[in-house]
Amino acid sequence: MKTIDFWFSIGSTYTYLTVLRLRNLFNQKNIQINYYPFSVRTVMKEMDNIPFPPSKKSKVDYMWRDIQRRSELYKIPIPNVPVPYPIKDLDLANRIAVVGIEEGWCLNYLEATYRRWFLDFSLAGSDENILSTCKEINLDYKYILNTANSSEIKYKYKNLTNLAKDIGIFGSPTFVVGKEIFWGDDRLEDAIDWLGKP
């Protein structure tokens, strides 16, 4: 079975598009996903990269409109924009995803937490979002919070972030096929096509 490494940071806006179309797309194409959460904020700080600051108003406005148009294209729910941004606890949101990988519910979590953020305006990583997401996908909120805050998960998350930097990943979402890196939701099809190369 063919495999794509999916590197992501909950907190990234464009990752909404990928998360909500991933399940159907990969089922159709019979592709397996490896999940790699990392701290895009850490990586970007080291590059002095602030993707959507207030000084870039045109770019920010464009980004939201682009996400709406792309949602329509993918037939996923079209968010009202602007969606509240940035999120406050990016690291917690992503450490929960690390727990999800080990326990097999990572994609369920990604879908639920992004839906709540983008469609209900409840910030990913917030108490409210985590609580209702846990309820939806049948997880014990206190257990999840304790595990996501454990030193073991923090250590794994830090290692994933370092690994991202080592590979040359600088944004979310990123797809890796062999040695090829594809950055951006709009390169997912390119990554899938690359799987078919000899």
Strands 31-37 and 2-8: parallel
Q: Smallest gap, in angstroms, from Cβ of residue 160 to its own copies?
A: 16
Interior/surface letters 165-184, b for 16+ CB within 10 angstroms, e for the rest: eebebbbbbbbbbeeebbbb
H/E stretch holding 35: strand 31-37
Amino acid found at 37:
P
Would you state the structure tokens that stand for residue 2, as one six-digit string? 């063919």
Q: Smallest gap, in angstroms, from Cβ of residue 16 to its own copies?
A: 17
What is d(CA 16, CA 95) in angstroms, rounded to the nearest whole number?
Answer: 18
Helix ranges (DSSP H) in the chain: 15-29, 40-46, 57-74, 90-103, 106-120, 127-136, 141-148, 151-167, 188-195
- Of 134, 196, 172, nearest in space to 36 by CA: 172
> Quick one: 23 or 51, whose CB is closer to its own copies?
51
Give the DSSP letter of residue 6. E
Q: Smallest gap, in angstroms, from Cβ of residue 185 to its own copies?
A: 11
> Quick one: 140 or 193, whose CB is closer to its own copies?
193
> Quick one: 36 or 183, whose CB is closer to its own copies?
183
> Quick one: 2 or 56, whose CB is closer to its own copies?
56
Q: Smallest gap, in angstroms, from Cβ of residue 90 to its own copies?
A: 20
Q: Smallest gap, in angstroms, from Cβ of residue 67 to its own copies?
A: 12
Q: Smallest gap, in angstroms, from Cβ of residue 107 to its own copies?
A: 26
> Quick one: 152 or 190, whose CB is closer to its own copies?
190
> Quick one: 40 or 110, whose CB is closer to its own copies?
40
Q: How many CB atoms lie within 10 A of CB 159?
A: 12
User: Which residues of the chain form contacts with its own copies (CB under 8 A)?
Assistant: 47-49, 53, 55-56, 58-59, 61-62, 65-66, 69, 73, 165, 168-171, 180-183, 186-187, 190
